[in-house]
């Protein structure tokens, strides 16, 4: 009996993806920091959809988190054919507002943990007739974003990593998809400490986490390479490509800068 792993499953897009998969009768392993939230979600999904669930509470900023997760999965004997690297967060404001440790923790969650977890579970994923890796990036991946500098760069990394890995695995049973949401009704703005100005600028364009989750899961099972959710976000990425980089960066800074 196979399971899907979802990191960052206690809130926002991760929680919505868990619901989307549970509705499709897919068993779940939910990973995030908060044990009470995970247990509540797991119990609810099992009750409503009849799927098997388990949880593994852990801080994904810990350098050995991927090894702990992989060891626990092996110990439990779980068969994994879907890996969803959803966990991620940003640090809003000037780069020097945060110390090196804060930046390192964010990059660990956004980049190092997804890479390590994918590598550690690759053999398991290859052991099934069909397996999927879904990485959740961000529309911020398509340009430099002053005020979210390291976050945007980390998501650019995730897009590039996903595309490269997909090509490497093109003749295997594993399909890799990367999904880049734009503004979403989630806890991102709170944790990133995004300015009120930026929050208000995005309120009217935000997608629901449920809408993003459905598009993401549909793209994964359709074995698409890369999607940006929502027409406005697709248009924004196109305009960023079209405009001079300095102009795009100036516009982004006007939204996210807290100076």
The whole-angstrom separation of Cα 2 and Cα 11 is 23
Strands 174-180 and 131-136: parallel
Which of 3, 89, 142, 151 does the annotation list as catalytic?
A: 151
Asked whether 42 and 20 are in contact (CB, 8 A), the reply is no
Asked whether the CA dihedral 213, 215, 221, 226 is positive or negative, the reply is negative
DSSP, residue by residue, 1-55: -EEEEEESTTSHHHHHHHHHHHHTT-EEEEEES-HHHHHHHHHHHHHHH---EEE
Q: Is 120 exposed, middle or buried (0-12, 13-18, 19+ CB in 10 A)?
A: middle
Strand partners, 7: 31
Q: Has 142 been annotated as catalytic?
A: no
Asked whether 57 and 72 are in contact (CB, 8 A), the reply is no
Backbone angles phi, psi at 137, to 5 degrees: -100, -130
Residues identified as active-site? 151
């Amino acid at each position: 009996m196979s399971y899907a792993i979802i990191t960052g499953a206690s809130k926002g897009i991760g929680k919505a993806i868990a619901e989307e998969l549970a509705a499709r009768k897919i068993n779940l392993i939910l990973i995030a920091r908060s044990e009470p939230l995970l247990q509540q979600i797991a119990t609810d999904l099992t009750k409503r959809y009849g799927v098997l669930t388990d949880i593994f509470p852990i801080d994904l900023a810990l350098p050995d988190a991927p090894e702990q997760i992989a060891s626990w999965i092996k110990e439990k004997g779980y068969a994994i054919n879907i890996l969803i690297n959803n966990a991620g967060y940003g640090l809003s404001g000037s780069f020097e507002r945060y110390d090196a440790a804060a930046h390192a923790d964010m990059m660990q969650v956004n980049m190092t943990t997804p890479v390590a977890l994918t590598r550690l579970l690759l053999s398991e994923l290859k052991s099934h007739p069909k397996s999927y890796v879904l990485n959740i990036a961000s529309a911020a991946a398509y340009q430099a974003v002053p005020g979210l500098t390291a976050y945007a760069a980390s998501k650019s990394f995730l897009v590039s990593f996903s595309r490269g890995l997909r090509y490497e695995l093109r003749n295997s049973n594993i399909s890799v998809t990367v999904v880049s949401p734009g503004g979403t009704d989630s806890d991102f703005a709170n944790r990133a400490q995004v300015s009120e100005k930026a929050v208000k600028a995005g309120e009217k364009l935000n997608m629901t986490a449920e809408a993003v989750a459905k598009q993401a899961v549909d793209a994964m099972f359709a074995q698409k390479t890369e999607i940006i959710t929502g027409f406005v976000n697709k248009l924004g990425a196109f305009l960023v490509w079209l405009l001079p980089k300095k102009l795009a960066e100036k516009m982004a800074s006007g939204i996210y800068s807290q100076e």
